[in-house]
């Protein structure tokens, strides 16, 4: 076998998948048709879950100049009345990062590609197109045409199709997508403000829910601003995107000499979901598997969650540390999450896109009543679901399937940082002083194969001391995780490598049962070894 993993497409999703594969030491080939990073922005927002993944990959510092916390959003009806507010969770932030960010996509993609260079197990071929992908008994056979026109074949254990919304791989396989009934034409305009311009622009993000032409304004990093305009039924998209048309649309906010048009592109905002996310050894990620209207800034987030969900499972299976059946949980976990998030984005989009004056008036009345009931507005993170099934404990709990919090911690050495900086992003078993973690450590130590999972044991509490090996004790200086555990009546929690909670327990006996369930759940061979 030439490669354990071939990744087709090196946009943000493919690049994140490649970096995660590199961290797991998978022999990986990344194929991308384009020679260089696309120099125009497309996605504009991501959330704290994605920023946490960027931190795990090791690019948080490199991308800092090109990201900015997302501003609150106001929804204004015709006449300027505010009918909805959407804000972020307040500090201390549950994942250790600001809840949402805006970013400059070409810079983030460049950072992801440069970071990939540090993994000797990963190879990148730019200017290469995949002509065919075929499953067989030995794995997946990939036919490649490189930048010189030469054609060759490589064999891989698995292929990740990160090849975009038109996905040639998906099309060749004849896989269909479910239409979630949203299809609206929009114009997206990105501008760079000239020096001294833009003082009169809104200081926050605005959804103009106006029947004449719904539109969106987003504050980007530095001098970067975005407008999105709904295209009217009597307009031709190509004509609306012409510079003179864009200037007319922007004249409500800016004079032509105050900005430079960076990009003006027309899109149809869709809500689509792939019915089958896997074909043999081929998996679909990102826009190849789903398309989400942009009204929650979750499109790119969804694809990066796909990568974070799948790559650690592939690594465990490739290393013989989990049964291949673990890979079947990919669609089972991701599809419901994507569906729910897409349906929420769709409902927001339908509200924003309402053109009928009578229905718009009813919408305004309903939203104003909701604001009266909840003056603080909607917290954006409350709209994003957790996992509803898949590789999770059978023991029901409020925390199961939710995101594992990340506190700021202090070690015995006095060193402080985010918890992931010290534990990495593998399996983590975290306990309070209510659970005897040494008993858990003894249980893991009884089975050498379990040690290969590199599970980190962490005990929270004051008087932090550093223990040897995979076990450590630290103080939660932010109170984020200790407060969360107390609120959930949790003495011990197991976090998966993608930061979702496998399960929780309140007693030492319950903790042992949970750990044994985790090990057995990784596959039949693991369960047999545990019983031996």
| Residue 434 pLDDT class (50, 70, 90 cuts) | confident
Instruction: Give me the CATH number covering residue 459.
Output: 3.40.30.10
Q: What's phi and psi for 146, nearest 5 deg? A: -85, 180
Whether 378 maps to a domain, the answer reads: no
Same domain? 165 vs 305:
yes
- Give tens-digit pLDDT for 355-413: 999 999 999 999 999 999 998 889 999 999 999 999 999 999 999 999 999 999 999 88
201 belongs to a structural domain: no
Assess whether 30 and 118 both reside in one domain: yes
116 in a structural domain: yes
Phi, psi of 395 (to 5 degrees): -80, 115
Q: Are residues 323 and 422 in the same domain?
A: no
If asked whether residues 37 and 168 sit together in one domain, one would say yes
Domain presence at residue 53: yes
Domain check: are 141 and 23 in the same one?
yes
Confidence of residue 469 (pLDDT cuts 50, 70, 90): low
235 domain-assigned:
no
Domain boundary among 348, 364, 396: 348
Domain end position, chosen among 280, 314, 348: 348
Q: What is the pLDDT of residue 511?
A: 95
Listed residues 332, 348, 364: the one ending a domain? 348
Enter the tokens of residue 69: 């916390």
The beta-carbon contacts of 146-154 under 8 Å, at least 24 apart in sequence, are 147/35, 154/2, 154/3, 154/6, 154/29
Structure tokens at 194: 């000239």
* CATH number of the CATH domain containing 144: 3.50.50.60
- List the structure tokens of 449: 């194969």
450 and 324 belong to one structural domain? no
Prediction pTM value: 0.96
Q: For residues 277 and 275, what is the distance between their CA atoms, to the nearest angstrom?
A: 6
Are 102 and 32 in the same domain? Answer: yes
Task: With respect to residue 514, please indicate whether it lies within any of the assigned structural domains.
Answer: yes
Instruction: Report the SS3 class of residue 131.
Output: strand
> Binning pLDDT at 50, 70 and 90, where does residue 527 land?
very low
- Output the six-digit token pair for 424: 């990495």
- Examine the domain organization and report whether 163 and 40 are in the same domain: yes
Q: What would the mean pLDDT of 305-322 be, rounded to a whole number?
A: 97
Side-chain-side CA neighbours of 475 within 13 Å: the count stands at 12
Q: Would residue 393 count as lying in a domain?
A: no
Q: Which two tokens stand for residue 398?
A: 């409020």
Number of domains in the chain: 2
Which residue bears the tokens 């993000």?
Answer: 205
Reply yes or no: is the peptide bond before residue 221 cis, omega within 30 of 0.
no
Rounded Cα distance between 379 and 356, Å, is 28
pLDDT value at 56 more than 60? yes
Same domain (yes/no): 146, 49: yes
| pLDDT tier at 426, thresholds 50, 70, 90 | very high
Query: pLDDT averaged over the chain?
Result: 94
Q: Which residues pair with 471 in a beta bridge?
A: 457
Is residue 412 located within the same domain as residue 340? no
Residue 340, domain extent: 3-69+92-177+272-348
pLDDT at 466 over 80: no
Q: Looking at the predicted structure, is the pLDDT value of residue 453 above 70?
A: yes
Same-domain status, 329 and 428: no
User: Do 412 and 338 share a structural domain?
Assistant: no
> Quick one: average pLDDT of 459-465?
76
On whether the CB atoms of residues 409 and 419 are closer than 8 A, the answer is yes
Q: Residue 182 domain-assigned? A: no
């Amino acid at each position: 076998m030439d490669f354990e993993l071939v990744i087709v497409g090196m946009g943000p999703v493919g690049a994140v998948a490649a970096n995660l594969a590199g961290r797991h030491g998978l022999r990986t080939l990344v194929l991308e048709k384009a020679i260089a990073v696309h120099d125009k922005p497309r996605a504009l927002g991501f959330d704290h879950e994605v920023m946490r993944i960027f931190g795990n990959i090791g690019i948080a510092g490199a991308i800092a100049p090109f990201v900015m916390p997302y501003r609150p959003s106001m929804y204004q009806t015709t006449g300027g009345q505010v009918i909805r507010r959407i804000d972020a969770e307040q500090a201390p932030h549950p994942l250790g990062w600001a809840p949402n960010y805006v970013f400059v996509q070409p810079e983030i993609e460049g950072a992801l590609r440069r970071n990939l260079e540090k993994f000797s197990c990963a190879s990148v071929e730019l200017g290469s197109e995949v002509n065919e992908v075929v499953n067989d008994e030995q794995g997946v056979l990939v036919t490649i045409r490189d930048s010189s026109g030469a054609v060759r074949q490589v064999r891989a254990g698995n292929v990740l199709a990160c090849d975009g919304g038109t996905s040639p791989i998906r099309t060749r396989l004849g896989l269909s997508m479910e239409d979630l009934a949203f299809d609206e034409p929009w114009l997206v305009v990105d501008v760079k403000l000239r020096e001294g311009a833009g003082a009169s622009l809104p200081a926050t993000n605005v959804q103009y829910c106006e029947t004449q032409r719904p539109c969106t304004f987003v504050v980007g990093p530095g001098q970067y601003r975005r407008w999105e305009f709904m295209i009217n039924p009597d307009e031709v998209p190509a004509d609306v995107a012409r510079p003179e048309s864009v200037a007319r649309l922007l004249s409500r906010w800016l004079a032509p000499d105050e900005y430079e048009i960076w990009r003006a592109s027309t899109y149809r905002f869709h809500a689509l979901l792939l019915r089958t996310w896997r074909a043999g050894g081929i998996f679909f990620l990102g826009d190849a598997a789903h398309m989400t209207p942009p009204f929650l800034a979750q499109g790119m987030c969804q694809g990066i969650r796909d990568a974070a969900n799948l790559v650690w499972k592939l690594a465990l299976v490739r290393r013989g540390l989990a049964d291949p059946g673990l890979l079947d949980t990919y669609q089972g976990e991701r599809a419901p999450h994507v569906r729910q998030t897409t349906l929420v984005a769709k409902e927001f989009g339908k509200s924003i896109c309402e053109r009928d004056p009578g229905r718009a008036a009813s919408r305004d009345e309903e939203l104003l009543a909701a604001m009266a009931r909840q003056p603080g507005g909607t917290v954006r993170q409350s709209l994003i679901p957790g996992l509803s099934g898949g590789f999770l404990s059978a023991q029901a709990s409020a925390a199961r399937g939710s995101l594992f919090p990340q506190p700021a911690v202090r070690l015995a050495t006095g060193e402080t940082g985010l918890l992931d900086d010290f534990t990495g992003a593998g399996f983590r078993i975290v306990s309070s002083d209510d659970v005897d973690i040494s008993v858990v450590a003894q249980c893991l130590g009884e089975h050498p194969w379990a040690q290969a999972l590199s599970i980190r044991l962490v005990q929270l509490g004051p008087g932090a001391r550093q223990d040897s090996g995979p076990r450590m004790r630290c103080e939660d200086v932010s109170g984020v995780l200790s407060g969360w555990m107390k609120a959930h009546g949790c003495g011990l929690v197991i976090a998966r490598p993608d930061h979702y909670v496998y399960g929780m327990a309140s007693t030492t006996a319950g903790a042992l049962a949970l750990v044994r369930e985790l090990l057995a759940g990784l596959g039949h061979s693991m369960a047999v070894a545990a019983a031996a």
